[in-house]
């Protein structure tokens, strides 16, 4: 999950005042809040962007929306409906973490539990080196030293849309890569950590992670358009934007199908701006976890608007999605872009998204 750079100096209090949150009408005075359509149009002009959508929510009510670019490459397909579903990438990790930490709250799991104890097969089959020293907390915080399965090189073809790899297959692939460090020694981002956490959640509950996300988060929070993809050919339901990725000759190729095997607990959720806003609002307002466990989830630190707005990002071939949320959980700006460039060239798009958010949320 990436972190947005600091942009803007005015505190969120100014935004809330501008939105008239202390007045009877929620949108009584929105004159100082940036225009979402203008911000999204500016974002869509960034090199590599095919289409972009965004919505702003305050206290669970949508106050503005925008869409620019097109659903398909070459100006085809019309604009993406702002309420469309899209891949959220690594924003999934915070949802998986919430499920795991709810199990801790219920006494079914401990942050100090060792991987070898809660998931014996990874030690018995030597799937994770030093599994007897790695804790649940270290998996949550990416400090386990377990390498990323993508580093194995086994999954280098972004156009392999059909081969199914189980979570255990991904863990096995990571075993062939050198550890990133000692257990608990320091941060080293690895999708494998969250593949393991998903397996732990399934082991403890006896249900699939998809069922647990639905039971604990999606249904209670009214996230009716959100679901977890885990196997090909699962994709995005309904009208949505298509992402593209350069082939070996540099030509952008439609990558809308993708391979759901690589997502799952680490990045497989498909959602909407409305549903993501509901999740971050509930999380930041303490309705999903007590304060001590909420801190254990390792939420993104505030960067925007004088340190009062945080950004949670997720990316993959053909897309980049970021949700900006206030520290009190009242305000969300959820943005999705579809791309026609590889991830190594996507940093300017990330910067443009942060700029759009600053324009929206940090009135000067």
Per-residue burial over 34-58, b if 16 or more Cβ lie within 10 Å, else e, is: bebeebbbbbbebebbbbbbbbbbb
| pLDDT surpasses 90 at 285 | yes
pLDDT tens digits along 286-306 = 999 999 998 887 777 788 988
User: What is the β-pairing status of strands 86-87 and 302-304?
Assistant: unpaired
- Strand positions, DSSP E, 34-85: 49-58, 61-69
C-alpha 168/C-alpha 186 separation (Å) is: 25
C-alpha 194/C-alpha 297 separation (Å) is: 12
User: What is the β-pairing status of strands 61-69 and 49-58?
Assistant: antiparallel
C-alpha 270/C-alpha 237 separation (Å) is: 9
Residues ≥6 apart with Cβ < 8 Å to 308: 11, 12, 13, 302, 326, 327
Q: Could you give the residue ranges of the DSSP H alpha helices within 45-178? A: 91-105, 115-118, 120-124, 136-140, 167-174
Task: Please count the residues of the chain.
Answer: 364
| pLDDT surpasses 50 at 92 | yes
| pLDDT surpasses 60 at 22 | no
What is the reported pLDDT for 363? 66
What is the reported pLDDT for 303? 87
pLDDT tens digits along 155-195 = 999 999 999 999 999 999 999 999 999 999 999 999 999 99
241 φ/ψ angles, rounded to the nearest 5 degrees = -85, 145
What is the reported pLDDT for 34? 84
| pLDDT surpasses 90 at 16 | no
What is the reported pLDDT for 32? 56
C-alpha 197/C-alpha 12 separation (Å) is: 34
**Residue 66 and residue 58 in contact, taking contact as beta carbons nearer than 8 Å:** no
Per-residue burial over 335-345, b if 16 or more Cβ lie within 10 Å, else e, is: bbbbbbbebee
**Residue 269 and residue 237 in contact, taking contact as beta carbons nearer than 8 Å:** no
pLDDT tens digits along 320-355 = 999 999 989 999 999 999 999 998 899 999 999 999
**Residue 143 and residue 135 in contact, taking contact as beta carbons nearer than 8 Å:** no
* Res. 13 pLDDT band, cuts 50 70 90: very low
Which of these, 196, 332, 324, 319, lies nearest to 269 by C-alpha position?
Answer: 319
| pLDDT surpasses 50 at 229 | yes
Which of these, 300, 269, 316, lies nearest to 150 by C-alpha position?
Answer: 316
Q: pTM score, two decimals?
A: 0.91
* Res. 28 pLDDT band, cuts 50 70 90: very low
pLDDT tens digits along 256-284 = 999 999 999 999 999 999 999 999 999 99
C-alpha 109/C-alpha 171 separation (Å) is: 21
**Residue 151 and residue 108 in contact, taking contact as beta carbons nearer than 8 Å:** no
C-alpha 54/C-alpha 356 separation (Å) is: 10
pLDDT tens digits along 96-141 = 999 999 999 999 999 999 999 999 999 999 999 999 999 999 999 9
What is the reported pLDDT for 66? 97
Which of these, 236, 321, 317, 332, lies nearest to 280 by C-alpha position?
Answer: 332
Per the prediction, the chain carries an average pLDDT of 90
| pLDDT surpasses 60 at 2 | no
Cβ-based neighbour number of residue 188 at 10 Å: 16
What is the reported pLDDT for 364? 60
DSSP, residue by residue, 237-276: -SS-PPPEEE-TTS-EEE-SS--GGGTHHHH-EEE-HHHH
| pLDDT surpasses 80 at 234 | yes
Of the two residues 5 and 81, the one the predictor is more confident about is 81
DSSP 81: P
**Angle, to 10 degrees, between the axis of helix 91-105 and the axis of helix 273-284?**
40
3-state secondary structure of 349: helix
Q: Is 46 left (phi over 0), alpha (psi -120 to 50) or beta?
A: beta
| pLDDT surpasses 60 at 10 | no
Mean pLDDT to the nearest integer, 250-255: 96
Cα radius of gyration (the chain): 20
pLDDT tens digits along 43-54 = 999 999 999 999
Mean pLDDT to the nearest integer, 215-238: 96
Helices and strands, counts by H and E, the chain? 13, 11
């Amino acid at each position: 999950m990436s972190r947005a750079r600091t942009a803007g100096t005015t505190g969120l209090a100014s935004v809330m005042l501008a939105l008239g949150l202390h007045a009877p009408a929620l949108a009584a005075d929105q004159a100082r809040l940036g225009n979402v359509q203008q911000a999204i149009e500016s974002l869509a002009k960034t090199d590599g962007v095919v289409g972009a959508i965004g919505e702003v929510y305050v206290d669970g009510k949508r106050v503005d929306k925008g869409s620019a670019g097109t659903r398909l490459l070459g100006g085809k397909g019309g604009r993406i409906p702002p309420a469309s579903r899209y891949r959220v990438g690594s924003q999934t990790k915070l949802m998986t973490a919430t499920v795991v930490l709810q199990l801790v709250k219920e006494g079914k799991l401990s942050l100090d539990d060792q991987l070898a104890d809660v998931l014996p097969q990874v030690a018995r089959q030597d799937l994770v080196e030093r599994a007897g020293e790695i804790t649940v907390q270290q998996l949550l915080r990416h400090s386990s030293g377990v390498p990323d399965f993508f580093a194995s090189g086994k999954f280098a073809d972004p156009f392999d849309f059909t081969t199914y790899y189980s979570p255990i297959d991904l863990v096995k692939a990571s075993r062939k890569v050198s550890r990133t460090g000692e257990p608990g020694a320091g941060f080293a981002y690895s999708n494998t950590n969250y593949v393991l956490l998903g397996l732990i959640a399934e082991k403890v509950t006896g249900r699939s992670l998809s069922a647990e996300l639905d039971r604990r988060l999606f249904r209670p929070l009214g996230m009716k358009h959100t679901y977890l993809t885990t196997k090909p050919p699962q994709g995005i339901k309904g009208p949505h934007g298509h992402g593209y990725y350069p082939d070996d000759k540099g030509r952008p190729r439609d990558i809308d199908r993708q391979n759901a095997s690589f997502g799952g607990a680490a990045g497989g959720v498909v959602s909407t701006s409305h549903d993501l806003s509901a999740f971050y609002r509930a999380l930041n307002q303490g309705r999903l976890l007590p304060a001590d466990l909420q801190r254990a989830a390792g939420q993104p630190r505030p960067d925007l608007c004088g340190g009062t707005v945080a950004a949670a990002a997720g990316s993959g071939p053909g897309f980049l999605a970021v949700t900006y949320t206030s520290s009190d959980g009242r305000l969300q700006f959820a943005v999705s872009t579809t791309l026609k460039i590889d991830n190594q060239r996507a940093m300017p798009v990330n910067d443009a998204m942060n700029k759009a958010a600053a324009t929206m949320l940090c009135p000067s």
